[in-house]
């Protein structure tokens, strides 16, 4: 049986993405996401715990993250866990575990008021939908991964026209 390494988190960004370029020219973005867990203990008391996750995305996905994500925005991140270590400037060995994102969905309204969209680094399909960003196509990928195109949610079908102006069309109701 093959091994499996996948992480999926839904939470709020704790800081704006830090977008930069590596010496080789690859774009990378780092940001933090907080996830909350709520439960009721045996005594009937409501409890809450917060986990903080470091996320890194590469290529066009990093550029997109820098454009659409901001502190406080809710985002869904899909990726894999990666632990890396290095020697600090003080000579102490340090390590961190982070999520290397391959897909991200920004939820809620963006900076320009546009609704959220889904982007990934492994898709081979063109974007669909009628949102303002649907006409943009972007490649995304990690340092050593082939690039792909972003995905967008499917568009709602056009409302059906009725013969009478007095009739209510159920397809026109937004919920």
Give pLDDT tens digits for 12-65.
Answer: 999 999 999 999 999 999 999 999 999 999 999 999 999 999 999 999 999 999
Alpha carbons 62 and 53: distance in angstroms, whole number: 17
- What percent of the chain is predicted at pLDDT more than 90? 60
CA-to-CA dists, residue 173 to 21, 49, 116, 166, 169, angstroms: 46, 39, 20, 15, 7
For the chain, strand residue ranges (E) read 7-13, 18-21, 27-40, 46-58, 74-87, 93-106, 118-120, 139-140, 148-149
Q: CATH for 7-172?
A: 2.40.50.140
| Owner of token pair 């907080």 | 34
Instruction: Give domain limits for the chain.
Output: 7-172
Give the model's pLDDT for residue 1: 87
Q: How far is CA 147 from the centre of its chain?
A: 16
Give pLDDT tens digits for 96-143.
Answer: 999 999 999 999 776 665 566 677 775 433 333 333 333 333 333 333
């Amino acid at each position: 049986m093959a091994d499996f390494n996948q992480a999926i988190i839904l939470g709020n960004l704790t800081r704006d993405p830090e977008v930069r370029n590596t010496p080789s020219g690859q774009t990378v973005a780092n940001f933090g996401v907080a996830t909350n867990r709520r439960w009721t203990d045996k005594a009937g008391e409501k409890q809450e715990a917060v986990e903080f996750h470091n996320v890194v995305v590469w290529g066009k996905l990093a550029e997109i993250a820098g454009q659409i994500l901001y502190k406080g925005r809710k985002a869904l991140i899909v990726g894999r866990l990666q632990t890396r270590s290095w020697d600090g400037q003080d000579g102490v060995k340090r390590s961190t575990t982070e999520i290397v994102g391959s897909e991200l969905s920004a939820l809620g309204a963006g900076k320009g008021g546009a609704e959220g969209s889904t982007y990934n680094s492994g898709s081979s399909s063109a974007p669909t939908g009628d949102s303002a960003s649907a006409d943009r196509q972007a490649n995304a990928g990690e340092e050593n991964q082939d690039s792909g195109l972003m995905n967008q949610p499917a568009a709602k079908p056009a409302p059906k026209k009725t013969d009478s102006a007095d009739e209510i069309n159920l397809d026109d109701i937004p919920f």
